[in-house]
Amino acid sequence: MATPIITDGSTDRVREAPRVVLPDNPKLFDERARRFAQLADGHSMGAYLGLMAQVARGQQAAIGARAAVPLPPAALEQSRHYGMPPLSAQGHARAPLWRDDLRDILRTVRAEAAPAAAPTLARLAAMDETSLEAMADRVLAGTTLDDDAACVPFVGAALQVYFMRQAASLAVADVSQCDVATVCPVCGTRPVASIIRIGGAQANLRYLVCALCQTEWNMARAKCSSCETDKGVHFLSLAENPDSDQAGQTAVKAEACDECKTYLKIVNQDKDAFVDPYADDLATLALDLLVDEQGFARSGPNLLFHPGSG
């Protein structure tokens, strides 16, 4: 299914843009690692962003190390006929491969991590399968415990690899009937942010980016990504807090909704050709604080961060 876009102001020339874009970039995590490293330089959260660059390099090592597990035909049939996400994050029977992805990430990070990360890496390496699966369930359900905090970014990163690999094995036809615009049509997860790209079929359109499987789906601009209203939607930026060391990062704004009192960040590639919604989101946590102070709650997670892990 495609979104018709008028390209020249007339009604007789229309460009078709994809409604759903499955993750097909084999270098996605490598590019994310470079963005994290770029943002870390001189940043007040530089150490954490640098650690996430290492995590992303581990994700890149893991993504090509194993193949996707075929989905049951019934899941694809339900998606086509009933508009249900075929890879429901909480309903999907995860294969143990995600734990292999976690081991690859831990191995990469262990080789170059700062000493401060060593206790968390050791804890995860020693954790039994039952405990790991229970923590993964909590990460996906958004019910993590304070004691999970340091482990969440690593478990979340491994789940991203696993679910991205699964999503990339699908065809757009498998998910084109999913009509709940506020959640990922592949796995049913909320978006981490939205992005407006330059160039290509997605140029100048707003795409929500799944916090888990990296799938992108189109939603009209100036429309709340949580309640879908077009009333009371406005933008906030760090320009309102010039003392922040992130005030110059104008590519990222918070799209806040007065109707449901939620917000989600929007990353504009036109401002900076090299952006990543996950990395740029973490690099602008000062914006989250600013928006939170104004009474808005964040509507989507970033699985690479837990409030107690930074």
* Cβ 234 vs Cβ 254: under 8 Å: no
Mean pLDDT calculated for residue range 135-158: 96
Name the helix (H) or strand (E) containing 217.
strand 216-218
C-alpha to C-alpha distance for 256 and 271, rounded to whole angstroms = 20
Beta-carbon-side half-sphere exposure of residue 33 (alpha carbons within 13 Å): 18
Q: Say what the pLDDT of residue 262 is.
A: 97
Tell me the C-alpha to C-alpha distance, in Å, between residue 83 and each of 14, 120, 236, 259.
27, 40, 34, 27
Mean per-residue pLDDT over the chain, rounded = 89
Higher pLDDT, 17 or 207: 207
Higher pLDDT, 238 or 34: 34
Residue type, 245: D
Size of the chain in residues: 310
Q: Say what the pLDDT of residue 245 is.
A: 54
Tell me the C-alpha to C-alpha distance, in Å, between residue 38 and each of 31, 33, 235, 274.
11, 9, 25, 10
State percent of the chain over pLDDT 90.
72
Q: Which of 17-31, 141-155, 192-206, 237-251 has the lowest mean pLDDT?
A: 237-251
Q: Which tokens sit at 255? A: 């799209």
* Cβ 153 vs Cβ 54: under 8 Å: no
- pLDDT > 90? residue 205: yes
Q: What are phi and psi of 244, to 5 degrees?
A: -70, 145
Mean pLDDT calculated for residue range 9-33: 80
- pLDDT > 70? residue 6: no
Mean pLDDT calculated for residue range 256-277: 89
